[in-house]
C-alpha cells in the first residue's frame, strides 16, 4: 500500500467523499504557472452553511497539490458539497471557475449510506418487528395508536429498493438487483 501522506502518490483526481476529521490530499494536473496563477477549491454545502476553501500549491510538471489536515476537516459540516476550482490571475486578481463537481462529507466511516439505503434498512426493521407483533392498532383509555399497514410498508420498501438499485447502492437484501445498464444513442 502506498503511503497516504506521501503527496507524490496521492490521487490525481478530486475525492468523491471525505470523512470529517481525517487528512485528505489529492493532486490535479493544471497547465498553470504558480508565478502567474493561484488555484483553490471552493466547497459550498448544498444545504447551506459555511463555505470552505482548499488552496493548492505546485509540485513538479504542472501538478497542483491540495491537502486538508484533519484539524481542518474536523470543522466541516457533514453533507453534500459542490466544489468549484477557482484560478486567480495574480497580476490583476481576476478569477475564473474552470471546473465543478460534488463530494460528500461524512461524520464517520460508518455513515456512508444514502438516504434510500437508510430507509430500506429502517423499513425492513419495522417489517421484522411486525412479524412478531400482529396488532395493527390499539387503544388505551382515550388514546389510540395505529401502525402503518404492512402493505404500505412493503410498498415504501420496494420504492426505496428501486431507488437504491437505480443509483447503484446496496441494500441489506441480496435479492435486490443492481441496475448496471448504460444506454447510448448516437445522433
pLDDT at 40 (0 to 100): 96
pLDDT at 170 (0 to 100): 59
Do 176 and 164 meet the contact criterion of CB atoms below 8 Å apart?
A: yes
pLDDT at 45 (0 to 100): 95
The DSSP element (H or E) to which 120 belongs, if any, is: helix 115-132
The DSSP element (H or E) to which 101 belongs, if any, is: strand 94-106
pLDDT at 56 (0 to 100): 94
Q: Is 161 helix (H, G, I), strand (E, B) or coil?
A: helix
Query: Please, what CATH class does the domain formed by 17-106 belong to?
Result: mainly beta
Cα–Cα distances in angstroms (integers) from residue 137 to residues 131, 134, 141, 157, in the given order: 15, 9, 13, 21
Question: Which cell numbers hold the place of 93?
Answer: 486578481
pLDDT at 172 (0 to 100): 45
The ranges of the chain with pLDDT < 50 are 172-178
pLDDT at 183 (0 to 100): 63
d(CA 134, CA 145) in angstroms, rounded, equals: 14
pLDDT at 9 (0 to 100): 86
Domain with CATH 2.60.40.10 in the chain: 17-106
CB atoms within 10 A of CB 160: 24
pLDDT at 143 (0 to 100): 87
Amino acid at each position: 500500500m502506498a503511503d497516504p501522506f506521501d503527496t507524490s502518490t496521492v490521487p490525481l483526481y478530486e475525492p468523491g467523499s471525505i470523512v470529517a476529521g481525517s487528512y485528505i490530499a489529492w493532486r490535479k494536473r493544471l497547465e498553470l504557472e504558480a508565478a502567474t496563477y493561484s488555484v483553490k477549491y471552493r466547497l459550498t454545502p448544498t444545504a447551506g452553511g459555511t463555505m470552505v476553501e482548499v488552496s493548492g500549491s505546485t509540485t513538479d510538471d504542472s501538478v497542483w497539490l491540495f491537502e486538508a489536515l484533519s484539524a481542518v476537516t474536523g470543522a466541516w459540516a457533514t453533507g453534500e458539497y459542490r466544489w468549484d476550482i477557482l484560478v486567480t490571475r495574480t497580476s490583476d486578481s481576476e478569477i475564473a471557475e474552470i471546473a465543478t463537481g460534488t463530494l460528500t462529507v461524512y461524520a464517520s466511516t460508518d455513515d456512508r449510506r444514502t438516504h434510500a439505503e437508510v430507509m430500506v434498512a429502517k423499513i425492513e426493521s419495522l417489517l421484522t418487528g411486525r412479524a412478531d407483533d400482529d396488532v395493527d392498532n390499539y387503544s388505551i383509555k382515550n388514546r389510540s395508536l395505529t401502525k402503518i399497514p404492512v402493505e404500505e410498508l412493503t410498498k415504501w420498501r420496494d420504492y426505496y429498493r428501486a431507488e437504491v438499485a437505480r443509483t447503484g447502492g446496496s441494500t441489506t437484501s441480496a435479492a435486490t438487483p443492481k441496475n448496471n445498464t448504460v444506454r447510448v444513442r448516437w445522433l
